[in-house]
C-alpha cells in the first residue's frame, strides 16, 4: 500500500428506531420512523435497526416502510431466537436493498434461569437454529448474547463459536444492563476475539447501555480492543438511562485519530439535524450541556475562554462547531416565500407529503407562522410538520380555540373550545397561571384522569418571537405517552401538546417488548 496506513472501517449501527423507541414514551409512528431513517441515511449510518417486526402489526409495517425507502444503509430487523420472529423479520425486510436480521437470546446465568428457564445447552441450540433460519433470508446475520456483560466468558466463547459456524457474520456483545466498566469490557472483547477459534469470520460489535453513565466509554474501550461495529442511538436515547450516544462515539473516534485505528463513514455535518429531529419527534429534549448536540456544547461563557477562542479557537475547542452541523440558525424562509420554496425545503429536510392537499395544509400553517415570526428556520419547519404528523388518521380531539385571561391580582383563567369525536365542547377553568388553567380546562373536557408526569418548554430558535416547543408526558395505567406542541405563544403550544398526548393515549398499543417476552 505504498507505506500508506489504511484504517479499518468502524461500522455505525444505529438503533434509535428500535432500542431508542423502547424508552418509555418515545414510541414513533411509521411516518416518523421513515423520516428519521432518511435523516440517518443522510448521516451515512451503515446499519439502521428499524424495529422489532414481531412486536406488533404497526412495528412490522414501520420496518417494511423503512426497508422500502432506504437505499444506501443496510436495514435491520430484530428477532428473538424464535422461528416466528425470524420469519416476520425476513418478511418485513423483503424489499430492502441491503438487509440484516439481528437475532438474540440471553446468556447470563440470571437471565437463562429466571427469565428463560432454559439450560445453557438449550440456549446454544436455540441460538444456532435461529441463525440458520435467518440465513435463509439474508447472508447478513447478527447474533447477540443478551446480557453478555454479566455472562460467563467461557459460555460466551462456546455460544459465539457455534453461531459463527451456523452463519452469523456479526457478533454483538451487549452490556444490556449497563453494568460494565471500560477497562474490563475492553478486555472481554479482546479475550473473546483471541479465544474463539473462528473469530476472524465475524465482525465484533458492542451495544452498551448507560446505567452507570459509561455506555460511550465502554463502547470506545471495546473499539480500542478490536470491536469494529458500535451500536448506538441519536442523543443516547434508549431503555432506562439510554444507549451509547452516536454523536459522542463518532466524534470521539474522529477527534482522536491518534488513538483509534479506525474511522467511520459518518457525515458529521448532519449530526445536529438528526439530533433535533429525534428530539422533536420523541419529545425528549436535549440537555443544554449534552456533548456535541447540547445548546451549550460550543458556547464559551468564561471571559478567559472567550478571549482564548477569539485569539485562536484551538485554545479551548477540540472540534469545530460547524463540523457537527452547528451554524448560526439559518434563515431559510420568510413571509414572502412561495409554495415551491416551502415544498422544496421541506423535502430537503426529509419530509414527504402524501397528497397535494397535505402540502396546501402545511403551507397554510407555514403562512400563519410567518405572519407571527419573520424568519423561519429549519427547526421551525420541523416542528411545524412534526406536530401534525398523524399518519392520515383523524385526531379524536382537536383544539378549536383558546382564550386566556391573566391580570395582576386576579386568578388566571382559560376558556377552551375543543372538537371531541366531531362534537364541539367548551371548558373553563382557573389555575395558578394561564398554562395551568388551560390544561385544567382541557382535562375537564377530555377526562383522561392521567397523571401529568412532565411538562417542559424549550425555545426552538432564539429571540422572544421564537416558537416554544412544549412536551407534556401523561401516565395512565402503566402507559406513558409524550405529547408535543409548538407555537409562538407557549400557552397555545401547551394546549396543543396536552391534546397531542391525549390523542396518543387513545391509540391502541399492543406491542410486545422484545426482551420481556418469553422464548
Contacts with ligand KIV by CB under 6 A lie at 19, 104, 144, 146, 174, 176, 207, 209, 514
SS3 493: helix
| Shortest distance in whole angstroms from residue 102 CB to ligand KIV | 7
Residue 133: which of ligand KIV, Zn ion, none does it interact with, CB under 5 to 8 A by kind?
Answer: none
Q: Is the distance from CB of 31 to CB of 251 less than 8 angstroms?
A: no
| Residue-by-residue DSSP string for 200-265 | GGSEEEEEEB-TTS-HHHHHHHHHHTT--EEEEBGGG--STT-B-BHHHHHHHHHHTTTT-SEE--
Residue nearest to Zn ion (CB): 19
Name residues whose C-beta falls within 8 Å of residue 393's C-beta, 6 or more positions apart in sequence.
none
With respect to ligand KIV, which residue has the nearer C-beta, 144 or 221? 144
H or E element in which residue 458 lies? strand 451-459
The annotation status of 207 as a binding-site residue, yes or no, is yes
**Partner whose footprint covers residue 276, from ligand KIV, Zn ion, none (CB < 5 to 8 Å by kind):** none
CB-nearer residue toward ligand KIV: 146 or 247: 146
CA-to-CA dists, residue 203 to 24, 140, 395, angstroms: 31, 11, 46
CA angle 49, 515, 117 (to 5 degrees): 140
Of 70, 74, 94, residue with least CA distance to 350? 70
Chosen from Zn ion, ligand KIV, none, partner binding at 487 (C-beta under 5 to 8 Å by type): none
Quick one: which H or E segment has residue 40?
Answer: helix 30-43
146: partner contacted, choices Zn ion, ligand KIV, none (Cβ within 5-8 A by kind): ligand KIV
Question: Is 267 part of any known ligand binding site?
Answer: no
Select the binding partner of residue 443 from Zn ion, ligand KIV, none (C-beta < 5 to 8 A, by kind): none
* Cα 127 to Cα 425: distance, rounded to the nearest angstrom: 56
Residue 185: CB minimum distance to ligand KIV, A:
14
138 binds, among ligand KIV, Zn ion, none (CB under 5 to 8 A by kind): none
CB of 447 to ligand KIV, least distance (A): 37
Shorter beta-carbon distance to ligand KIV: residue 81 or 414: 81
The reply on whether position 375 binds Zn ion by CB under 5 A is no
Smallest gap, in angstroms, from Cβ of residue 18 to Zn ion?
8
CB of 228 to ligand KIV, least distance (A): 17
- What's the gap between Cα 107 and its chain centre? 27
Output the CA–CA distances (angstroms, integers) from residue 272 to 20, 425, 518, in the order listed. 17, 41, 38
Contact 79, 101 (CB under 8 A): yes
| Beta carbon of residue 174, minimum distance to Zn ion (angstroms, whole number) | 6
Distance of closest approach, residue 176 Cβ to Zn ion, in angstroms:
6
Residue 387: all three cell numbers together: 406536530
Please check if 305 is assigned to a binding site: no
What H or E segment, with its residue span, contains residue 8? strand 8-9
Beta strands (DSSP E) in 391-437 are 397-405, 413-420, 423-430
CB 418 within 8 A of CB 446: yes
- 11-70: which residues touch Zn ion (CB under 5 A)? 19
Least separation in angstroms between CB 209 and Zn ion: 6
Cα angle 176, 134, 82 (rounded to 5 degrees) comes to: 60
Closest separation in Å from C-beta 418 to Zn ion: 39
Please tell me whether 111 is known to bind a ligand. Answer: no
Q: Which helix (H) or strand (E) holds 77?
A: strand 74-80
Instruction: Report whether 95 contacts 64 (CB < 8 A).
Output: yes
DSSP state of 360: H
Question: Which is closer to ligand KIV, CB of 249 or CB of 369?
Answer: 249
Instruction: Please report, as ranges, the residues that interact with Zn ion according to CB under 5 A.
Output: 19
Residues forming the annotated binding site for Mn(2+)?
Answer: 19, 207, 209, 243
Residues forming the annotated binding site?
Answer: 19, 207, 209, 243
Amino acid at each position: 500500500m505504498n507505506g500508506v496506513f489504511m484504517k479499518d472501517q468502524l461500522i455505525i449501527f444505529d438503533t434509535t428506531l428500535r432500542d431508542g423507541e423502547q424508552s418509555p414514551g418515545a414510541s414513533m409512528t411509521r411516518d416518523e420512523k421513515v423520516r428519521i431513517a432518511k435523516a440517518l441515511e443522510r448521516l451515512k449510518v451503515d446499519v439502521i435497526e428499524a424495529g422489532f417486526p414481531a412486536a406488533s402489526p404497526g412495528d412490522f409495517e414501520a420496518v417494511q416502510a423503512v426497508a422500502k425507502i432506504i437505499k444506501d444503509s443496510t436495514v435491520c430487523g430484530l428477532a428473538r431466537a424464535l422461528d416466528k420472529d425470524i420469519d416476520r423479520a425476513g418478511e418485513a425486510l423483503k424489499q430492502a436493498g441491503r438487509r440484516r436480521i439481528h437475532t438474540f437470546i440471553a446468556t447470563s446465568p440470571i437471565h437463562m434461569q429466571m427469565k428463560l428457564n432454559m439450560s445453557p445447552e438449550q440456549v446454544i441450540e436455540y441460538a444456532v437454529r435461529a441463525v440458520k433460519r435467518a440465513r435463509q433470508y439474508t447472508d447478513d446475520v447478527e447474533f447477540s448474547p443478551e446480557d453478555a456483560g454479566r455472562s460467563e466468558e467461557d459460555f460466551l466463547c462456546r455460544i459465539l463459536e457455534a453461531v459463527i459456524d451456523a452463519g452469523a457474520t456479526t457478533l454483538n456483545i451487549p452490556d444490556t444492563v449497563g453494568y460494565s466498566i471500560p477497562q474490563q469490557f475492553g478486555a472481554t472483547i479482546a479475550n473473546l476475539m483471541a479465544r474463539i477459534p473462528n473469530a476472524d469470520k465475524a465482525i465484533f460489535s458492542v451495544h452498551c447501555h448507560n446505567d452507570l453513565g459509561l455506555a460511550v466509554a465502554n463502547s470506545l474501550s471495546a473499539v480500542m480492543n478490536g470491536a469494529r461495529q458500535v451500536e448506538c442511538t441519536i442523543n443516547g436515547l434508549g431503555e432506562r438511562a439510554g444507549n451509547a450516544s452516536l454523536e459522542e462515539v463518532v466524534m470521539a473516534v474522529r477527534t482522536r485519530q491518534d488513538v483509534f485505528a479506525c474511522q467511520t463513514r459518518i457525515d458529521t455535518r448532519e449530526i445536529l439535524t438528526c439530533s433535533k429531529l429525534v428530539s422533536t419527534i420523541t419529545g425528549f429534549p436535549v440537555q443544554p450541556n449534552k456533548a456535541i448536540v447540547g445548546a451549550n456544547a460550543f458556547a464559551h461563557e468564561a471571559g478567559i475562554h472567550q478571549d482564548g477562542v477569539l485569539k485562536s479557537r484551538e485554545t479551548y475547542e477540540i472540534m469545530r462547531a460547524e463540523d457537527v452541523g452547528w451554524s448560526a440558525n439559518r434563515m431559510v424562509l420568510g413571509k414572502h416565500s412561495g409554495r415551491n420554496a416551502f415544498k422544496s425545503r421541506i423535502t430537503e429536510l426529509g419530509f414527504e407529503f402524501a397528497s397535494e392537499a397535505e402540502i396546501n395544509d402545511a403551507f397554510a400553517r407555514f403562512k400563519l407562522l410567518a405572519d407571527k415570526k419573520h424568519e423561519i428556520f429549519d427547526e421551525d419547519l420541523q416542528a411545524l410538520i412534526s406536530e401534525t404528523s398523524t399518519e392520515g388518521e383523524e385526531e379524536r380531539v382537536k383544539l378549536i380555540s383558546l382564550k386566556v385571561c391573566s391580570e395582576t391580582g386576579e386568578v388566571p383563567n382559560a376558556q377552551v373550545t375543543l372538537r371531541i369525536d366531531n362534537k364541539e365542547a367548551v371548558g373553563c377553568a382557573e389555575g395558578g397561571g394561564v398554562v395551568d388553567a388551560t390544561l385544567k380546562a382541557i382535562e375537564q373536557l377530555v377526562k383522561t384522569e392521567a397523571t401529568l408526569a412532565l411538562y417542559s418548554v424549550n425555545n426552538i430558535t432564539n429571540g422572544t418571537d421564537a416558537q416554544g416547543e412544549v412536551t407534556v408526558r401523561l401516565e395512565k395505567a402503566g402507559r406513558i405517552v409524550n405529547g408535543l406542541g409548538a407555537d409562538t405563544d407557549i400557552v397555545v403550544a401547551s394546549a396543543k401538546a396536552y391534546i397531542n398526548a391525549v390523542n396518543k393515549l387513545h391509540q391502541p398499543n399492543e406491542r410486545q417488548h422484545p426482551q420481556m417476552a418469553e422464548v
